[in-house]
Amino acid sequence: MLEAINLRKSYGDHEALQGLNLKVNAGDIYCLLGANGAGKTTTINLFLNFVEPTSGTARVNGVDVTQNPLETKRYLAYIPEQVMLYGNLTAIENLEYFARLGGHAGYSAADYRSFLDRVGLQANAANLRVRTYSKGMRQKVGVAIALAKQAKALLLDEPTSGLDPKASNEFSALLLQLRNDGAAILMATHDLFRAKETGNRIGIMKSGRLVQELSTDEVSHADVERIYLEHMH
Amino acid sequence: MIRIIARKEFAEIVRDGRFMWTAALMVLLLLTAMLAGWQRHGSYMATQAAAQGATNTQWLKQGDKNPHTAAHYGNYAFKPLGPLAFFDNGVTNYTGTTVFMEAHKQNFAIASPAADTSAISRFGELNGAMILQVLMPLLIIFLGFTAFAGERESGTIRQVMSMGISRTSLLGGKALGLAAAVLIVVVPCVIIGAVFIAMTDLPVVGEGLVTRIALLTIAYLAYAGIFLFLTLAVSAWSRSPRAALMVLVGFWAFTAFIMPKTAAEISKAVHPSPSYGSFMAAMKAHQARGFDGTPPWAELGKFQGQMMRKYRVSDVKDLPFYWTAVRMQRLEELDQRVFNQHFGAVTAAYAAQRRLQDRIGLLAPTLPLRSISMGLAGTDLIQQQKFQDDAESFREAMVSKMNGYLSKAAVSLNGVNSASNYLIANEDVFAIVPPFRYQPPALATTLSEHWMNFAVLAFWLGAAILLALLGVQRMSLERD
């Protein structure tokens, strides 16, 4: 579903990504670990075509991202560290706007409500302007947007950092639901525990390279931490 | 897609606190300006009609006298204004409203409204055109400067672009949403203005009123479009909303305040027009030495010889017309050649200044719009010139009619040299001079004078759209 082939990105002399090969299939939750500057966000930006690759190919659903940037975005949902919404619009209005931008104009008001219900947003908050929302509430609306978009692949850039453990746990439960519905999920994160809990595959990045891949059912929490720290030294 | 974005932009703008107070202020100012303009125009036209009527009667009822003396008694032309003057009074505050038309002298228009007002009200007189030219751009800037820069700063732009929409649609949607927010403020005021005109019982001066209103609307929409796309372009190119606002407000001050004044000064420096004093002195001196160096008395001597040869007489008293009258008419025509040359030079200098200003409009879109607006409203210098020309034609016809009547009616007085050498005429004779009527330039003439301004406005709109398109294509999605 998500595929990077010899993907490179350099900014002048700095090589942000040095030939990444990566594949995330439907039903995968692939967690990218690595220090800040390892190339996680660059990878996500390349899949979104927010930056042009220096060489190599990124594919979404088999379609080249640079050739058909608008088509590939139809298959994607993006949830950043901070889901940014329009403060003067309500959650329903934000959701409706993004759903329509994503090409889904057919939802009813009840549909929008049920998306927000599914992500666990309090019913009375749906008609409030999101200016007043906490980070956790905004992340939930972000997931609702992904649900409404019926995305085949999700790109998550540290979506749980800064969330309290309960909110983080709820968020992970939502991801599992999405995966069970058949989505391919690529998540950049610093949360080793969450990566082992939620993900089924882990990739460790360092200085623009994917240095190791793991399957979470073959390693323990302690293994993940040990392997990660080994690479960081 | 564009409609979806436009609807959301509109909802967002309208809910923003900025919108309520800027819109309220704008509506208040625009309506006040239109009402003030309407009141001003009504009282001006009432005064004009009363004065023109009085002077027409005065001419007829001036009392029995010699026709040439009646031409000296003279007549006044009072400039009427078209109904659109209430919206844009152009230069009319500073140009003369009245021309005294008399034998032997071509006069400048006098009595400008500004001369009658106190020092304070000379500045910042409210009119609808000024509000739209100066404040509408500011409204557009205030509502639109965050369009891209704000979304980039808050991070929503990444979210939006991840949905798979093209940058051009995003620009289109934002332009449409912003336009809707601006139009709901401006359009009701414009409709009220049109209703004012429709309800008027004032005389319509100048033809093609509906076309004029339509063209004014197009020109102002283009002007709004220029600022709209420039605002979006700058917002896309800028690092932050703050930087966008600074650039935009700077440009606004440049085009709306600095350039109009500067363009006038530059064009005056390049194509100087004489001061009143030096103009009059030069014209009088020229009149005395004769048009091409032959003094008037010598010209008249030549003319007398020509007439005597033509009618084969040895004494002017034997001419078949009243010689004194024909001689006076000849002198009038000799003087007119001098007047025409001097007044013509001033007119040409003004025209050259105007053409230069039109070219400076390439730097500041307010200039071409201002010219078009005044031109269509019938309140620019071109139409002031036409009024003066009409007054001069009237004056020449009046003098020539009075002298002409005298030359035929007083043949028997030829050569009689006594106190009774006087023909007295009455109202019936004065009535051969029809009342003064100002014929404003035809709409087609006005348009042909302003094609350059329309072209410059179109150029600006095209350039603004292009800048905005380029801006969104090159726009970074990352915060700095």
The predicted-structure confidence for B358-382, as pLDDT tens digits, reads as follows: 889 899 999 999 999 999 998 988 8
Provide the sign of the torsion angle of the four alpha carbons B50, B54, B55, B57, taken in this order. Answer: positive
Going by C-alpha positions, the residue among A126, A153, A150, A148 that lies closest to residue A137 is: A126
Among residues B435, B284, B456, B431, which one has the least CA distance to residue B358?
B456
Closest-CA residue of B relative to A80 is B159
Residue A27's region, left for phi above 0, alpha for psi from -120 to 50, else beta, is left
Q: Looking at residue B64, what is its pLDDT?
A: 87
Contact pairs from chain A to chain B, CB under 8 Å: 69
The answer to whether the CB atoms of A88 and B8 lie below 8 A apart is no
Nearest CB neighbour to A76, from listed B1, B11, B162: B162
- Give the type of residue at A155: L
Q: Between B11, B159, B165, which is nearest A89 by CB? A: B11
Model pLDDT, residue B117: 65
Question: CATH classification of A2-86+151-232 is 3.90.650.10, yes or no?
Answer: no
DSSP letter string, B170-224:
HHHHHHHHHHHHHHHHHHHHHHHHHHHHHH--SPPPSS-HHHHHHHHHHHHHHHH
Best of A48, A52, A84, A143 to substitute, by most chain B Cβ atoms within 10 angstroms, is: A84
Question: Nearest-5° angle of CA B79, CA B80, CA B83?
Answer: 145
Residues 6 or more apart whose CB falls under 8 angstroms from that of A128 comprise A90, A91
Q: Which of B11, B16, B165 sits opposite A101 (nearest CB)?
A: B165
pLDDT of B173-185, one tens digit each?
999 999 999 999 8
Domain boundaries, chain A: 2-86+151-232
Distance of residue A175 Cα from the nearest chain B Cα, in angstroms: 19
Contacts of residue A172, Cβ cutoff 8 Å, sequence gap at least 6: A160, A194, A197, A198
Q: Does A89 contact B12 at a Cβ distance shorter than 8 Å?
A: yes
Long-range (24+ apart) CB contacts under 8 A made by B235-239 are: B235/B144, B235/B145, B235/B146, B235/B147, B235/B148, B235/B149, B235/B150, B235/B471, B236/B147, B236/B148, B236/B149, B236/B171, B236/B468, B236/B471, B236/B472, B236/B474, B236/B475, B237/B467, B237/B471, B237/B474, B237/B475, B238/B149, B239/B149, B239/B480
For position A98, what pLDDT does the model report? Answer: 94
Taking CB atoms and an 8 Å limit, are A73 and B163 in contact across chains? yes
Note the pLDDT of residue B103: 84
Q: What crossing angle do the helices spanning B2-15 and A91-101 adopt, rounded to 10°?
A: 160
- Chain A residues whose beta carbon lies within 8 Å of the beta carbon of residue B164: 69-74, 76, 101-103
Would you say A212 and A231 are in contact if contact means Cβ atoms under 8 Å apart? yes
Separation of alpha carbons B468 and B465, rounded Å? 5
- Option in A88, A102, A145 nearest B164 (CB): A102
Give the pLDDT confidence of B382-438 residue by residue, as tens digits. Answer: 899 999 999 999 999 999 999 889 888 877 777 776 555 678 888 888 989 999 999
Which strand (E) or helix (H) includes residue B158? Answer: helix B156-161
pLDDT over 90 at B210, yes or no:
no
Residue B198: is its pLDDT beyond 90? no
Do the Cβ atoms of A186 and A44 come closer than 8 Å?
yes
Q: How far is A223 from chain B (nearest CA, A)?
A: 35
Lowest-confidence range among A60-69, A108-117, B322-331?
B322-331
pLDDT of residue B248: 97
If interface means Cβ-Cβ distance under 8 Å, which residues of chain A face chain B?
48, 50, 69-74, 76-78, 80, 82-86, 88-89, 93, 97-98, 100-103, 105, 145, 149, 155
Per cent of chain B over pLDDT 70 is 95
Q: Are A137 and A121 in contact (CB under 8 A)?
A: yes
| Residue numbers in B near A71 (CB within 8 A) | 164
Identify which has the larger pLDDT, B121 or B291: B291
Is the pLDDT at A88 greater than 70? The verdict is yes
pLDDT at B118: 59
Task: Name chain B contacts of A83, Cβ cutoff 8 Å.
Answer: 159
Asked if the Cβ–Cβ distance from A100 to B156 is below 8 Å, we say no
In this predicted structure, what is the pLDDT of residue B121? 54
- For residue A91, is pLDDT > 60? yes
- B480 pLDDT band, cuts 50/70/90, is low
Residue A160: predicted pLDDT? 85
Q: Which amino acid is at A91?
A: A
Mean pLDDT to the nearest integer, B107-135? 75
Out of A69, A85, A105, closest to residue B156 by CB = A85
Q: In angstroms, what CA-CA distances link B4 with A78, B272, B450?
A: 20, 55, 39
Q: Which residues of B fall within a CB distance of 8 Å from A149?
A: 163
pLDDT category at A171 given cuts 50, 70, 90 is confident
B158 chain-A contacts, CB cut-off 8 A: 48, 50, 78, 80, 84
pLDDT at B201 over 90: no
Residue among B101, B109, B134, B112 nearest B29 (CA): B134
Res B119: pLDDT: 54
Is the confidence at residue A149, as pLDDT, over 80?
yes
Record: contact A101-B4, CB cut-off 8 A: yes
Residue B65 gets which letter from DSSP?
Answer: B
Q: Which residues on neighbouring strands pair with residue A3, listed in sequence order?
A: A23, A59
Q: How far apart are CA A44 and CA A78, in angstroms?
A: 9
- Only one residue has tokens 């004194």, namely B324
Tokens of A13: 């002399």
